[in-house]
């Protein structure tokens, strides 16, 4: 066997090469590391810009007549409102058939991304489904779903169209709206392209429940501007031509507009758009639990289970690998009460981040302003005793998402 001798000079040279390599690695990571890690985590590297530029060609609404303002807003913004046709496959016990629906959307940028309601495009990404977008110039383009937030009934889709044919609908703010403020609704009701209706903000801070997930949509804008089937997904605008909401729902026993329409506030849409463009999905902190409120338990059952509280959320199931599982929350067990009756007995969540929890809506309100990675204190009741836990918020595991 041959052996090799390393001289002192070679050792010094080897040490210098190692130092240079290590320094280069550190510099490389500082420059490119976060971007590479973001890609591995599913993030896009593009910059997300949701700032609004002033709408060109609009007279100051404070000096323009109402009629002139309506005309100018319509002329400037209507080319950015699109008609969306959805084809989905509906399956029943005996057969499968195609169903079509239509709605509206707002062009977000020159890349062809469009904001709309989730219920407008629901099912389009399943086998046999499709999306088509019609622009104001009459051209039609196939579209693909980039991401959605069924909890807030929002979705972002994309078309490949020439930049010069895309008119962007600018995003405004719903933070300073007031009852009585003028608003304009655009959309495609009953298939009539780019229709304009006007009205006022008739209520603020409303709550709607998502028809897809049954979760509350907070701070919804109420308006008396006529909103009809086909308006869904179109913009609710202020007098400066900026989107302040997304037309979503009407209250109507007859199915037509009766003067009460609802729009998801644009601040909610901005969070959804930012997540979808960066990660391809809406990232929400979830505990990963199935629960039942104690309000559904009779007082007799609460006493039989020897629970020291009558309000809270009883944990029935904890998703493996979820934030709740890592914090130590446990699945419920069935206990027998009497000869035939069984009941669940598990951890009862009574407060999160210092807020009392009596329903799943209470829990959603606490979590909606939190970020993934936040550490949140929680108080539970286990085996009749109060116990403090700390939960580090995370997304749901893929299997439960």
| pLDDT tens column, 159-189 | 999 999 999 999 999 999 999 999 999 998 7
Q: What is the total residue count of the chain?
A: 401
**pLDDT tens digits along 264-282:** 999 999 999 999 999 989 9
**pLDDT tens digits along 122-148:** 988 888 889 999 999 999 999 999 999
CB neighbours of 333 closer than 8 A, spacing ≥ 6?
344, 345, 346
Q: What distance in Å separates the CA atoms of residue 121 and residue 131, rounded to the nearest whole number?
A: 7
Q: What is the mean pLDDT of the chain?
A: 84
Question: Buried b vs exposed e over 155-167: b needs ≥16 C-beta within 10 Å?
Answer: bbbbbebeeebbb
Sequence spans of domains, the chain: 42-283, 289-400
Which CATH architecture describes the domain 42-283? Beta Barrel (2.40)
CB neighbours of 156 closer than 8 A, spacing ≥ 6?
108, 113, 114, 115, 116, 145, 146, 147, 148, 272, 273, 276, 277
Q: What is the pLDDT of residue 253?
A: 62
Q: What is the pLDDT of residue 39?
A: 41
Q: What distance in Å separates the CA atoms of residue 275 and residue 272, rounded to the nearest whole number?
A: 5
The answer to whether the beta carbons of residues 281 and 267 sit under 8 Å apart is: no
Give the CATH number of domain 289-400; options: 2.30.42.10, 2.40.110.10, 3.40.50.720, 2.40.50.140. Answer: 2.30.42.10
Stated pTM of the model: 0.80
Q: What tokens appear for 7 in the block?
A: 């001289």
pLDDT at residue 2 above 60? no
Show the DSSP H helices in 260-322 as ranges. 266-279, 299-304
Q: How does DSSP classify residue 260?
A: -
**Mean local confidence (pLDDT), 15-23:** 51
Catalytic residues: 119, 153, 232
pLDDT band at residue 45 under the 50/70/90 scheme: very low
**Mean local confidence (pLDDT), 231-240:** 94
């Amino acid at each position: 066997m041959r052996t090799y001798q390393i001289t002192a000079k070679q050792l010094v040279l080897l040490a210098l090469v190692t130092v240079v390599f290590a320094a280069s690695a550190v510099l490389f990571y500082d420059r490119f590391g976060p971007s590479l890690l973001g890609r591995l985590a599913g993030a896009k590297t593009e910059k997300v810009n949701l700032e609004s530029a002033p709408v060109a060609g609009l007279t100051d609404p404070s000096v323009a007549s109402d009629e002139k303002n309506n005309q100018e807003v319509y002329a400037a913004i209507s080319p950015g409102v699109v008609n969306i046709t959805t084809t989905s496959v509906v399956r029943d016990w005996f057969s499968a058939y195609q169903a079509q629906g239509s709605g509206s959307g707002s062009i977000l940028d020159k890349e062809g991304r469009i904001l709309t309601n989730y219920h407008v495009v629901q099912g389009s990404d399943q086998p046999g489904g499709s999306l088509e977008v019609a622009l104001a110039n009459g051209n039609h383009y196939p579209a693909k779903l980039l991401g959605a937030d069924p909890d807030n009934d929002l979705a972002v889709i994309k078309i490949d169209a020439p930049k010069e044919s895309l008119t962007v609908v600018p995003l405004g703010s719903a933070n300073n709206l007031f009852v009585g403020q003028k608003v304009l609704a655009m959309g495609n009701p009953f298939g009539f392209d780019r229709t304009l209706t006007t009205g006022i903000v008739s209520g603020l801070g409303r709550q709607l429940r998502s028809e897809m997930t049954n979760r509350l949509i907070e701070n919804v804008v109420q308006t008396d501007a006529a909103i009809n089937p086909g308006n869904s997904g179109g913009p609710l605008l202020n007098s400066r031509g900026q989107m302040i909401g997304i037309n979503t729902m009407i209250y109507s026993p007859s199915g037509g507009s009766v003067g009460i329409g609802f729009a998801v506030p644009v601040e909610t849409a901005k969070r959804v758009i930012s997540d979808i463009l960066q990660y391809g999905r809406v990232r929400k902190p979830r505990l990963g639990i199935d629960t039942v409120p104690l309000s559904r338990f009779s007082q007799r059952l609460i006493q039989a289970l020897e629970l020291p509280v009558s309000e809270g959320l009883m944990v029935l199931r904890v998703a493996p690998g979820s934030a709740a599982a890592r914090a130590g929350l446990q699945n419920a067990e069935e206990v027998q009460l009497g000869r035939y009756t069984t009941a669940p007995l598990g951890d009862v969540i009574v407060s999160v981040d210092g807020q009392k929890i009596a329903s799943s809506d209470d829990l959603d309100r606490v979590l909606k302003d939190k970020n993934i990675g936040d550490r949140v204190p929680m108080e539970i009741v286990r085996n009749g005793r109060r116990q403090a836990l700390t939960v580090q918020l995370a997304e749901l595991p893929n299997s439960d998402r």
